[in-house]
A and B are shown apart, each in its own frame.
Chain A
């Protein structure tokens, strides 16, 4: 999708784009920090923390004085926030180098690669969760194995981001990645999991079977993959696998064959993911930043149990 508009798009996303447009800052106290909201079962007098009694609530939390006044069972809880464990997982592969220089030059456009998009998204999420006081673990998963990027503070995330920007987002060469095993990754417990991938290698089974955490797939594609209007009928297009299939542009454009195929593929993947997990979001390098941030916010409300909320 040729980028012409002046709206900031995801290809320009930095970690400093605030993901909470409501301005509701997370609590950071000596005891508690993080984005995870805990409903601590302690009586409190503060009316702001009151709610109606529902069956099963502890009886000792009922404000009997309020019941005496207006005959309604009101429960007063003490609300607080605590840090949660966030895991961000990036699917690495050769195909992330697309769209390559050869293509962008032929089209006369400057577009970011999928790898750049993926890393921008990952560092942004990491930065925002670290800012909220959460623990973030960032993994890169490829055919060669699993690597972890140690992230301890927002400063570190910002430094890594700057390095990536300067080095053209060649993460493997720029960042101090630590080798981990696949098993460690799968066994690690987390509260929230973000899987950032273009889905070309399919969804790993263990991700579909992962229990106990909020898993969200940010399906990052290139804008040229979603909108194939740039295809020319006279050119040929090939994939990178060992079979070297090559297609004529004419055949791909014929009766919107490619567009339809991609749509079907996306629908299938989404359906498969949502069977196991609650949240799926598809982005590309041309989607506006604000829209992306809004979707991220909305995800807290859409699902019965928002990825950012959990009862203790």
Chain B
């Protein structure tokens, strides 16, 4: 236990004790009554002791006791965890070997195995040992420690990633009595990110052992994604899109990529990374032998990178993909009505189906569709107003299906086109599909003269179709009518309205995919992860969820393993290192952001301070019971001691555009001597405009041209400052129409006028008869918000007030005294505006006048 901790505990206990004592004293004081007649009763009655025990109210005492106990326990527990001895001896120790791909950086499996053997050797005999690897869930006990190198070498690095948190959770379910856990892993963030070891550290001592010999990550090239390119018509071709990534930067990289299919090399091409390039998209033509693909369901493409020069991870240079994207196929029969999505509403239907995972092939007429080995799983046929049965109705599906009756996953959607007036053909098609495999010789009688949607829906219902969507028993409101042809294993859906999204229509663009998804769900077509997984080769982020997966070694390396993002040291547990002294556990760097100690110290300090203040105040009030002022003065003196901040009452002269800093000696004396304001010696002088110059309440500008030349941004800042209450003095003006105009534009509510003789400037301190003029130029003021915000002064007035020897020719007929008076009035106006108009002074003025 270190000194600071013990003192903290002591302070806590002391505070609690003092709190208790004071509490009882205060309680006692509350119920004292003065009784003067006690003076005359006989003295033999024993006087009350000053302190005595009164039983406190139960609940209050319980709360207090609870609070103080928890505070005490908290502080004790903190001290306990801080002083816990980092003993790595004589503990039930478990070692977890992370064999994820990122660990292979700079280490071969045999090196890894040797280091593991060394680690176990260092621990052997000191603790009861067990270990496991991330490759499998089996746990090895003491007896197997000698075989660790063999075991690890036999397992090798796996291609799947590891989430240490999930693996440890599994481990702790199997082994419950672990006292020390050593995790042998690198600093790969994707492994560590789900592991809340700080929580676990309360129960188990957790250490991290990085394998010696692991190199720092530099540059890793890996395959991010491989996709087969889809034609605009929706059919697949032999062009493959490959995206390569690298982790480092600043170095040009090159190498070769090879593709193998069933043991035969089908591609070999070079690639090249620039210094700054991080992503490389390649389009490669990989001709595949279709026949061999058909024979072997598990045949796949193996892409392998071989960079020239160093590469961090070799394990992720291999990437596998299916030879063909195994999506669901859909056939869309619809006549285009215009250019793409602007006019062609079926375009959105196609996009929506693609979003839902279909490979959609679109044809204008059914005759364009070339019969392939398999019929597509979904056929959507749109009946346009003039279409004949033969152009859209997918009768071929029934013929084909009669050959493969086992297929259960065929759906045919019949969609009415926009502005369809005759539903006869649609009805005919529906009937033919329902009746299949029996052929329908001619159009059935019930399909004659259907001109209305309601009739069409009614006929579908009478055929035996079930409604899909809408309210019960109101088929007119349904989305589609559905019937299943059990003989062919085919579902036929007759949509009751066009699947055209419109901005103002019932079906919005956003709703269309959702509607289709709902239709798929209702008709029992599964859309989801299962299908998507089949499309891509598995990439397993966490091996602990996939121990039992066959062919795990063939999975692709997760991208985050390849990226190799490193966790910082404070995110990792205490580090173990094996040196000459054996195993040494370093103190954890982590936890500084979760350390509550400063707050606890602060709270305790406040508690102790307030308690002592209360003690002193209480004591004073008891001693000076008759003199209440003592306590008041005590509070005042204490508060004065705490924050004696110097009050600032000075005004600085704030200058813009003055060549030399003027000497203010005489002016300072005049101002300080006459008024209660002090003009500070230090001036804020700048040649160019800067934001800081607007911190003072006023600003002197040497020439109006300086303001005219300001940039728009600076000028708007200046006007904003003026409107906030700033006071601007501009010297050497001679008309300055431009400045006046721009100011007026910035603040249109203000107005320019010469300063009248009854202006507050003439009487704010001294009573002035007139203002000094220069070459017939008068003083002008910009009045804004019922005050004067800007003064234009002719000539160099400031120099004139400073009592310099050659103040210029302008103000020759005026004395220095007059100038000082005007300056003081200006100062007063800038600080207090028209304070003399305040009616608050009126009674006093009237009193003096009387």
Contact = CB atoms under 8 A, between A and B. Distances in A.
B753 interface: no
B46 interface: yes
A251 B36 contact: no
Contact of B35 (A98, A106, A199): A98
Interface string A88-107: 00000011001010110010
The residue among B32, B37, B39, B50 with the most chain A CB atoms within 10 A of its own CB is B37
A234 B31 CA distance: 8
B32 A200 contact: no
A225 interface: yes
Contacts of B38: 237-239, 245, 247
Contacts of B48: 236, 238, 245-248, 251
A179 interface: no
Contacts of A190: none
B633 interface: no
Contact of A103 (B28, B33, B37): B33
Interface in B21-56: 28, 31-42, 45-48, 50, 52, 54
A225 B45 contact: no
The residue among A199, A225, A245 with the most chain B CB atoms within 10 A of its own CB is A245
B31 A200 contact: no
B33 A262 contact: no
A225 B47 CA distance: 19
Nearest to B35: A237
Contacts of A262: 37, 40-41
A79 to B, nearest CB: 45
A98 B39 contact: no
Given A234-B54, A247-B45, A241 B32 contact: no
A261 B45 CA distance: 10
B35 A238 contact: yes
Given A234-B54, A239-B39, A245-B38, A251 B33 contact: no
Given A200-B39, A265-B40, A238 B34 contact: yes
A260 to B, nearest CB: 9
Nearest to B31: A235
Contact of A200 (B37, B42, B45, B54): B37
Contacts, number: 79
A258 interface: yes
A106 B36 contact: no
B48 to A, nearest CB: 4
A312 B28 CA distance: 64
Contacts of A200: 36-37, 39-40
B37 A225 contact: yes
A170 to B, nearest CB: 18
A240 B36 contact: yes
B235 to A, nearest CB: 98
A264 to B, nearest CB: 8
A252 B365 CA distance: 115
A252 B28 CA distance: 17
A252 B45 contact: yes
Contacts of A199: 40
A251 B40 contact: no
Interface in A256-296: 257-258, 261-262, 264-265
Nearest to B29: A236
B40 to A, nearest CB: 5
Interface in A217-255: 225, 234-241, 245-248, 251-252
Contacts of B47: 245-247
A234 B45 CA distance: 17
Interface residues of A, number: 30
Given A236-B31, A247-B48, A98 B36 contact: yes
A236 B33 contact: yes
A118 to B, nearest CB: 14
B36 A258 contact: no
Contacts of B41: 258, 261-262, 265
B28 A236 contact: yes
The residue among A94, A199, A240 with the most chain B CB atoms within 10 A of its own CB is A240
A236 B42 CA distance: 17
Contacts of B52: 248
Nearest to B54: A234
The residue among B28, B35, B46, B52 with the most chain A CB atoms within 10 A of its own CB is B35
A200 B41 CA distance: 10
A259 B658 CA distance: 93
Given A200-B40, A258-B41, A251 B34 contact: no
Contacts of A235: 31-33
A257 B45 CA distance: 9
A103 B39 contact: no
B45 A246 contact: no
Contacts of B36: 94-95, 98, 200, 239-240
Nearest to B48: A246
B792 to A, nearest CB: 65
A199 to B, nearest CB: 8
Interface in B175-212: none
B33 A102 contact: yes
A238 B37 contact: no
B440 to A, nearest CB: 103
A5 to B, nearest CB: 24
The residue among A106, A247, A265 with the most chain B CB atoms within 10 A of its own CB is A247
A117 B556 CA distance: 104
A251 B35 contact: no
Contacts of A102: 33-34
Contacts of A248: 48, 52
Interface in A61-102: 94-95, 98, 100, 102
Nearest to B30: A235
The residue among B31, B32, B41, B52 with the most chain A CB atoms within 10 A of its own CB is B41
A246 B40 CA distance: 13
B42 A237 contact: no
B34 A100 contact: yes
Nearest to A100: B34
A98 B31 CA distance: 17
Contacts of A265: 40-41
Contact of A251 (B42, B45, B50, B54): B45
A237 B46 contact: no
Contacts of A98: 34-36
A258 B33 CA distance: 15
The residue among A106, A239, A241 with the most chain B CB atoms within 10 A of its own CB is A239
Nearest to B55: A234
A239 B38 CA distance: 6
Interface string A22-38: 00000000000000000
The residue among A200, A236, A257 with the most chain B CB atoms within 10 A of its own CB is A236
Nearest to A199: B40
Contacts of B31: 234-236
A102 B698 CA distance: 59
A239 B46 CA distance: 14
Contacts of A252: 45
Contacts of B42: 261, 264
A103 B32 CA distance: 9
A146 to B, nearest CB: 22
Contact of A241 (B28, B39, B45, B50): B39
Nearest to B46: A251
Nearest to A252: B45
29 contacts: A95-B39, A98-B34, A102-B33, A102-B34, A103-B33, A200-B36, A200-B37, A234-B54, A236-B48, A237-B34, A238-B48, A239-B35, A239-B38, A239-B39, A240-B39, A241-B39, A245-B48, A246-B32, A246-B47, A247-B47, A248-B48, A251-B46, A251-B48, A258-B41, A261-B40, A261-B42, A262-B37, A262-B41, A265-B40
Interface of B: 28, 31-42, 45-48, 50, 52, 54
Sorted from nearest, which 8 A-B pairs have the closest CB atoms? Answer: A95-B36, A261-B41, A239-B38, A246-B48, A237-B35, A235-B31, A245-B47, A239-B39
Given A102-B34, A251-B46, 8 more contacts: A98-B34, A103-B33, A238-B32, A247-B45, A248-B52, A252-B45, A261-B42, A264-B42
